[in-house]
Structure 1
Amino acid sequence: MRVTMTLSLPRQPSSVTRARHVLTTLLSLTDATEDSRGHLAVLISEACANAVVHADPGSTVDIAIVIDDDSCLLEVGNRGSTPDAGVGLDARLPAPLTVGGRGLPLIAALADTAAFVAGPPDHVLLRITKHLANT
């Protein structure tokens, strides 16, 4: 089965919840395990929260979800600047540990792959892949 969806949500905190609900609804159509579903819910929540916090004012949070038989691809984009374009994420927590700074290491730890990729000028695009374990 292949399921795809694109969303363009406003840059506001409630968009994080909306994105997570859409993804969990789409995953309910698959045989993905609860662990896979839970990891993906965290992944989209963290990626969208980062987009909401760090996007340029007036930007939208643009999301693409592609679910294939054994994998899920998430792309979360917005207008802004990329921390390290084309570089994979690091699962280590920042030192010193502050209030923020845990989202990208959490994404790196839970995803099979996660990296900022080239997109349109002045846009940030985070691409995340996760293998789906089936029940």
Structure 2
Amino acid sequence: MRVSMTLSLPRQPSSATRARHVLTTLLSLTDVSEDTRANLAVLISEACANAVIHADPGSDVDITISIDDHVCRIEVGNRGRSPDNTKLDADLPTPLTIGGRGLPLIGALADTAAFVSRAPGQVLLRITKHLTEARAAPAR
């Protein structure tokens, strides 16, 4: 199965929730495991929240979700600047109650995640997650 959707949401906190709802609805059409669905929900929530916080005023948050049999790709873009020398790894800040945990969470949960070069003043975060774990079949 292949499904994709593109959204352009306003730069406001509720957009992260809306994007997560769209993703979980699309994933409900697949056999992706609950653990993988939960990880993808965190990934899109954190990516969108960062876009809302760091985007230029008046910028929309542009989201593309592509799901096929093996991979989910999420792209979150906006007007603004990507952080210099940004690493998307799993070095979580201590304590976890402080800000700055979004990119480390993305790095820990995604199979790949990177800022992709675009036109000046444009930011695009591309995240991929392999969908190898299928949901368990219901008992008969």
TM-score (norm 1): 0.93
Deviation at 1:98, TM superposition (A): 6.7
The answer as to 2:49 corresponding to 1:38 is no
Indicate how the Cα distance of structure 1 residues 95 and 38 shifts in structure 2: closer, same or farther if over 3 A, else same. Answer: closer
Alignment partner of 1:8: what SS? Answer: strand
Task: Using the aligned pairs only, state the percent identity.
Answer: 76
**Runs in 1 of length 4+ with deviation above 6 angstroms?**
95-98
Match of 1:66 in 2: 66
Q: Highest CA radius of gyration, 1 or 2?
A: 2
Match of 1:81 in 2: 81
Query: 1:39-54 residue pairs with structure 2 within 5 A?
Result: 39-54=39-54
Match of 1:109 in 2: 108
Distance across 2 between alignment mates of 1:34 and 1:120? 37
| Paired letter, 2:13 | P
TM-score (norm 2): 0.90
Alignment partner of 2:120: what SS? Answer: coil
| Paired letter, 1:29 | L
Distance across 1 between alignment mates of 2:134 and 2:84? 33
Match of 1:17 in 2: 17
Q: How many residues align?
A: 134
Q: Relative to structure 2, which stretch is displaced further, 33-42 or 113-122?
A: 113-122
Distance across 2 between alignment mates of 1:45 and 1:68? 20
Deviation at 1:118, TM superposition (A): 0.7
Q: Relative to structure 2, which stretch is displaced further, 113-122 or 21-30?
A: 113-122
Indicate how the Cα distance of structure 1 residues 127 and 84 shifts in structure 2: closer, same or farther if over 3 A, else same. Answer: farther
Alignment partner of 2:98: what SS? Answer: coil
Match of 1:7 in 2: 7
Distance across 1 between alignment mates of 2:7 and 2:19? 8
For each residue in 1:55-96, what CA deviation from the matched residue of structure 2 results, as whole angstroms up to 9, or x when unmatched?
Answer: 0000000000000101100000010001147x6512102468
RMSD of aligned alpha carbons: 1.6
Give 5+ residue unaligned stretches, structure 2: 136-140
